[in-house]
Amino acid sequence: MSTTIDLPILAEAPSPAPFPNTSPTEATGDGRTVYIETYGCQMNASDSEIVLGVLDGRGYRSVDSADKADVVLLNTCAIRDNAERKIHERLSALQHLKKGNSDLVVGVLGCMAERLRAKLLEKELVDIVVGPDEYRTVPDLVDKALHGDKGIAVKLSRVETYDDITPVRTEGISAWVSIMRGCDKFCTFCVVPFTRGRERSRNVTSVVDELKALQDQGFREVTLLGQNVNSYRDDVSGADFADLLAASARAVPTMRIRYTTSHPQDMSDKLIDTMAEWHNICKYIHLPIQSGSNRILELMNRTYTVEHYFERMDRIRAVMPHVAMSTDIIAGFCTETEDDHQRTLDAMRRVRYDGAYMFAYSPRENTKAWKMGDDVADDIKSRRLQEIIDLQHSISAEINAAEVGRLHDVLVEGPSKRNGAEWKGRSDTNKTVIFPHIGETTADYVVGDTIRVRITRSTSATLFGERVE
Ligand code: SAH
Ligand code: SF4
Ligand code: F3S
């Protein structure tokens, strides 16, 4: 995933924002300020925009740092132990703010809120705890907290999709749109089915209407989000994910369409063909393999074999030869042997991913795998993970080196972080491309334009090039 898993994505809303969800009788925020800090995956980034949408509707104003805020919310992740540890540390660091301002409301939202529930309220500092399906309650819980009452809302829902809430978006040209929520796959290592509940999808019309509004507002790229986007199903029209993609591509021809994340079991021929058919659907697929060993995949309840995965990959590449691929890999799952690990490395050599998100297995309480034990010693797990990372770096570097001389259509995002004389953008294949910027007055492109760039050099993470007319 482009998921900067475990990295805080700071969600700062433009202010003053138009408050599309305002209803005059409900404006209780009274100009109070809220700061939300987001951890975990893109679903959380998108949810934070929904929470800000709910709060905007009640008269709250969003600010860009905790010390300017009346309400501080942490939207959290529970996927691995270190993701939760980070939140405990952050909460400790926030203690000084609360000491200086006893009216400050501190809330924990998201997957860790859902997993730990009332346990989080035992921390003196925490006033409210809200799970992913209860974000509509945030304003009321904040009101109560201001009167000294702690509050919790962690019920999961079979129907909540927030499709009537207008998210407060922060990115200039690129937007997240959640199209489905929850996960029914129950991989044995994973907390998501417990923290996010059952799968449910928005209908095609509501998604397409949102995309058209985004296009009108000047957004140039959208990422359709779900824990398993390709198990999307519109119960009203019967549309599947391929149908939704085609309807989206048709509705917003000037926008690039991306999606994440997909499951190998649901990677149908129809979906692959639909991607190939539409020029504005990006040729980039994140398809987590997790392990190259069938024995481990079975223990993980991934529901596919390595052979199935390779067959899907071959089909994808036959139809889209220049597609970019990324994956997720877990090192050191219970009972993983040296032979299993070698199979993972072999699978990586066979597929040759453009990029990968690689993790050491972290046992999660109440999952099936928790009961299987965590029997791969830490030093072995770390060594295997390092071998996976090293192999991926060398493959990424080789793949990117082969890009030299090629042309890419790059969506211009703005100045690069390191050097003001250079700008950055992203290729259709989701690679960051850096190019010299000739200055505001002479450049004939602006942020949001698509320009053609010839690649001149590369690293394992980045392509560098020059604009060609
Ligand atoms: N729905 C997505 C994954 C979401 S979680 C999918 O199935 O592809 C993102 C990634 O975190 C997973 O793909 C997996 O590689 C990793 N992950 C999940 N649980 C984990 C655990 N207990 N320990 C280590 N990595 C884990
Ligand atoms: Fe977790 Fe598996 Fe669902 Fe992905 S498909 S969210 S790994 S249970
Ligand atoms: Fe983390 Fe929840 Fe996403 S556990 S990865 S924030 S769905």
CA distances for 95 relative to 44, 70, 72, 142, 414, angstroms: 24, 14, 12, 18, 36
What do you get for the CA distance between the two ends of the chain, in Å? Answer: 32
* Structural domains of the chain, ranges and CATH numbers in brackets: 2-153 (3.40.50.12160), 407-467 (2.40.50.140)
What is the tens place of the pLDDT at every residue in 412-454?
999 998 887 899 999 999 999 999 997 766 778 999 999 999 9
Q: What is the tens place of the pLDDT at every residue in 62-94?
A: 999 999 999 999 999 999 999 999 999 999 999
Q: Which atom of ligand 1 is nearest to the CA of 189?
A: 22
> Structure pTM?
0.93
Residue nearest ligand 1's atom 3 by CA: 227
The pLDDT of 380-405, averaged and rounded, is 98
- pLDDT category at 165 given cuts 50, 70, 90 is very high
Ligand with the closest atom to the CA of 5: 3
189-193 contacts: CB < 8 A, separation 24 or more? 189/300, 189/330, 189/333, 189/361, 189/363, 189/364, 189/367, 189/369, 190/79, 190/364, 190/367, 191/78, 191/79, 191/111, 191/115, 191/364, 191/366, 191/367, 192/79, 192/111, 192/227
16 pLDDT above the threshold of 80: no
Task: State the distance from the centre of ligand 3 to the C-alpha of 340, rounded, in angstroms.
Answer: 27
- Answer yes or no: is the C-beta of 80 below 6 A from any ligand 1 atom: yes
Q: What is the mean pLDDT of residues 348-353?
A: 98
**Contacts by 253-256 with C-beta closer than 8 Å and gap 24+?**
253/280, 254/215, 254/220, 254/280, 255/211, 255/214, 255/215, 255/219, 255/220, 255/221, 255/222, 255/280, 256/220, 256/221, 256/222, 256/280, 256/282, 256/411, 256/428
pLDDT tens digit string along 311-345?
Answer: 999 999 999 999 999 999 999 999 999 999 999 99
Percent of all residues in the chain with a pLDDT value above 70, rounded to a whole number: 93
d(CA 368, CA 185): 13
CA of 190 to the centre of ligand 2 (A): 6
Which residue from 43, 76, 184 has its CB within 8 A of the most atoms of ligand 3, so it is best to mutate? 43
Q: Token pair of 284, please? A: 């980039």
Q: How far is the CA of 2 from the centre of ligand 1 (A)?
A: 13
Q: Which ligand is nearest to the CA of 183?
A: 2
Question: What pLDDT score was predicted for residue 441?
Answer: 66
Residue 262 Cβ inside 6 Å of ligand 2? The answer reads: no
Pocket test for ligand 1, best of 112, 229, 312, 328 (most atoms within 8 A of CB): 328
Q: Is the CB of 74 under 6 A from ligand 2?
A: no
CA of 197 to the centre of ligand 2 (A): 11
CA distances to 39, 250, 257, 452 from 254, rounded to whole Å, are 31, 10, 10, 16
**Best mutation site among 227, 290, 303, 364 for ligand 2 pocket (most ligand atoms within 8 Å of CB):** 227
CA–CA gap between residue 295 and residue 206 (Å, rounded)? 41
Answer whether residue 26 shows pLDDT above 60. Answer: no
**Which of 65, 59, 72, 66 shows the shortest CA–CA distance to 32?**
59
Q: How far is the CA of 42 from the centre of ligand 3 (A)?
A: 8
Ligand 1 pocket residue status of 290, Cβ below 6 Å:
yes
Decide if pLDDT at 173 tops 70: yes
Query: Does ligand 1 come within 6 angstroms of the Cβ of 291?
Result: no
Q: Which ligand is nearest to the CA of 302?
A: 2
Task: Determine if ligand 1 sits within 6 Å of the CB of residue 460.
Answer: no
Tell me, in angstroms, the distance from the centre of ligand 1 to residue 140's CA.
33
293-315 pLDDT, tens per residue?
999 999 999 999 999 999 999 99
335 close to 297: Cβ distance less than 8 angstroms? no
Residue whose CA is closest, atom 1 of ligand 2?
190
Give 271-284 pLDDT, tens digit per residue.
999 999 999 999 99
Over residues 200-227, the pLDDT tens digits come to 999 999 999 999 999 999 999 999 999 9
- At 123-162, the pLDDT tens digits run 989 999 999 999 999 999 999 999 999 999 999 999 999 9
Mutate to test the pocket of ligand 1, among 291, 312, 330 (most ligand atoms within 8 A of CB): 330
Quote the tokens at residue 191.
């907390």
Ligand 2 and 184: CB distance under 6 A: no
Q: Where are the alpha helices (DSSP H) in 284-377?
A: 294-299, 306-319, 338-351, 368-372
Please spell the DSSP secondary structure of 86-115, one letter per residue: HHHHHHHHHHHHHHH-TT-EEEEEEHHHHH
Q: Is 228 helix (H, G, I), strand (E, B) or coil?
A: coil
| CA distances in angstroms from 4 to 39, 77, 131, 148, listed in the order given | 9, 12, 21, 36
Which atom of ligand 3 lies at the shortest distance from residue 75's CA?
6
User: Residue 29: its pLDDT value, please?
Assistant: 74
Q: Does position 370 have pLDDT exceeding 60, yes or no?
A: yes
- Token output for 368: 């099936």
